[in-house]
Chains A and B, each alone.
Chain A
């Protein structure tokens, strides 16, 4: 059980792999040196660098090693940057194309597909509107008909009455978002995305609902917005 998307999980596993490698090197080295090169009183290897008070000590360096651990981390971050690069195309929203094509004509469907990396591509997308306000969300389906998008409210045990956004699996939506007071951010937990909603400025967010999407998931506010910030919640229902 997790809120991870396949896209997130792929990146996460890769980063964890490199983290383990880097930690193994650093901590193995630390562990070895902190037991191997020790002494109780400093007598075992006395003062190899002839350290003396008031004298700047002899340089203890090795250009090759220092260059090595400048270059190697640099190569690693180039690789990690390259690895994180591909999903970026799926993150940015632009109205003129991209991985999700153009806005759907009436009656057209997105037919989105997820590749093995978890990146979703679609034929076209639908536009919905999300408005943030202290302290609730409102969803507007605009011109989309009920078979594509709907909104309702539901009473949840702890959050009280929350708005519910009904979307269809296999369809991709572009949320055009704005706030009418302060900054908020909807965190679509099972989509692994969030984006601030700002007053006086529109922001956009892809909501690609894949076939494997869980039916019910939470939308929490992730940008601190005042007193009832933590119960500013909504629900996303993905229908077949």
Chain B
């Protein structure tokens, strides 16, 4: 029985051993003729098997700081008694200190020694190696020349000489683990995750009907999922994909955090680090956040509108099935060790330069597919909302979550063509040899930045606005009140949708863009605070006079209010250009966008998962596990991202694979405390990562033995609570007379229900009118 203390000690030992294993020198001498500094000045072009080099006196494992006398010798080759010269050597030791004791050998530096002119006519030499004082894996590389002695004589020079090489590794008193290639770690973890996903899939099938657990039943069941056009099944598929990639992106974040935990770390090389942060960003935005939004929208928009399905179910299935293949393309590069290394922003001209990895081409191709997928999704949802609202539901009676999806899709629909155009240009530049971004041929270095951010800024609102919708639903339902200021909520969301398009220049305050544009976007960026402020105050006011029921989704919504407000406030620092020139590309930016994208978007998703899970599956989630999940995740999340603000102000730069601390105040490197804070962030990051497994566990427990959910467990008013939990395969609603069908929305505000208002009548003139749709449906 191992006690608690010794368990802790073992863990600490493993951690220490792992950290010690991380540094590993790579500058092996290659032994190619002419490499004077790092290898030997070997005679002859190819190594010879007939020469055998050896080092005697090396221990199996060294003792700390002990001096070992090494005898270097060789046999074979043209060297023989009587030659003017016999041979030479070059020894390199990755760690420890070499020293020489006689005139036959000389020291180049503490890691390298070689023979002298006086030592040129012998077959063995002696050098002393002092072992390092810590545990290291020490590599020795010895090169020897076997010389025929004709250097001054007939034939001249080094012709006929031969050389050989031997490499030996020695460990310290405590065995040090070899550092693993981070890509292998990532690959293994992805494969493990995928296997777990497959096992879960098999288990879900097994639970469905334990007696029919065989291939003949499994194949049609699986085919049913793969060919389904049911909005609920596709919504579930989006969730599976989104959560899987949330995990993959999370694993990458953890690897990034391991690298940054101590200054000067070399767990990742810069080249690997570049690929990790690129794929982390792309995965989280495009393969995790967007599919999860589509998952919520697929599930809930038709249910909230009182529709049977989306307007274009086959297009919907196609939108989804483009995503896994796009994901494969985006990740293809890393299988060859050449993943995209451009950052998720992919700034030109680096993205088309020869220095950028081959994987960048596939990364661009994958994103073009995602652009197609998002465009189709946009068409689908806008059409559904225009023509499939239940009778009685005007635009201004749509539930706020549906409104948020409408705003998000309008934004996406108007902005993503710019991104698509840019990506196609990049793709053509890389593949066909066009010159959109070839500066030498007259390409524009800022064109991509404009195209990208014209899309990129609305995009970050696209991923956060659906969370606003979820929070509006959750806060109102949990407070037992109707949302405060429904109409100003809608206008604020629409306002965000409009402002999104005129602020993107704040990403380019230091880009060489014209000062006039910078000034204009400074003014417009400040405006973002107004609609988001309205939303935050409306949410707070909704709670006023209500009776807040504390459920897990309530906690997440309150947590969202805290973190999103903090992220919004830190966002106000950027439009002030004189501050932005310092904060741009620092960890302050990293802290800010993780506060709004994790504390905003992901916390909103968690609230939505806990809120709608009973409706979607017919099973309740455990409240105890849910509260535990919230508390652990909320605390570790804040511990993870809050200190990054300080690091950014200190001058820690984003996208640098490592950083350095110094006690010298004069030198602008980070102060010593920065190392401690980075370790703290890494520990918090792991806690946050693992805290989310409580949700996974909760989902598994709920699926196996969760209580059955009632139709309206939380007391919401919208149509999704009118159908059964889970809803029937062909969505219909329980009507008052006991039959199933499409419901009619009543309005408690009858006096205004008959006056659509100027905005909705304007919309209705633009879009298909209610009379038209009613005629068609009869």
Contacts and interface: CB of A to CB of B under 8 A. Distances in A.
A24 to B, nearest CB: 11
A229 B536 CA distance: 40
A189 B583 CA distance: 10
Interface string B179-192: 00000000000000
Interface stretch (B158-166, B225-233, B474-482): B474-482
Q: Which 7 A-B pairs have the closest CB atoms?
A: A57-B482, A230-B656, A218-B668, A84-B576, A87-B578, A189-B668, A39-B547
Contact of A43 (B264, B526, B547, B745): B547
B488 A66 contact: yes
Given A15-B572, A187-B653, A45 B484 contact: no
A216 interface: yes
A237 to B, nearest CB: 10
A216 B485 CA distance: 56
A145 interface: no
Contacts, number: 316
A217 to B, nearest CB: 4
Interface residues of B, number: 113
A216 B746 contact: no
Contact of B582 (A5, A80, A231): A5
Given A60-B542, A227-B270, A230-B270, 5 more contacts: A40-B549, A54-B722, A76-B529, A216-B667, A227-B341
Contacts of B530: 70, 73-74, 77
A53 B721 contact: yes
11 contacts: A4-B649, A26-B565, A37-B547, A48-B481, A56-B393, A57-B717, A59-B752, A60-B486, A224-B655, A229-B274, A229-B656
Given A22-B569, A48-B481, A194-B584, A134 B355 contact: yes
B96 to A, nearest CB: 20
A140 interface: no
A56 B668 contact: no
Interface stretch (A106-114, A122-130, A164-172, A178-186): A178-186
B484 A19 contact: no
B446 interface: yes
Contacts of B264: 158
Contacts of A195: 510, 512, 581
Given A3-B668, A43-B547, A88 B578 contact: yes
Contacts of A48: 480-481, 545-546
A224 B347 contact: yes
Contacts of A88: 519, 577-578
Interface of A: 1-5, 7-8, 11-12, 15, 18-19, 22-23, 26-27, 29-30, 33-34, 37-62, 65-66, 69-70, 73-74, 76-77, 80-81, 83-84, 87-88, 90-92, 134, 158, 181-183, 185, 187, 189-190, 192-196, 198-201, 203, 214-218, 220-231
Contact of A200 (B445, B572, B719): B445
Given A42-B480, A45-B546, A51-B482, A182 B355 contact: yes
A8 B586 CA distance: 14
Contacts of B544: 33, 37
Contact of A182 (B349, B479, B579): B349
A183 B404 CA distance: 37
Given A50-B748, A182-B355, A227-B355, A193 B546 contact: no
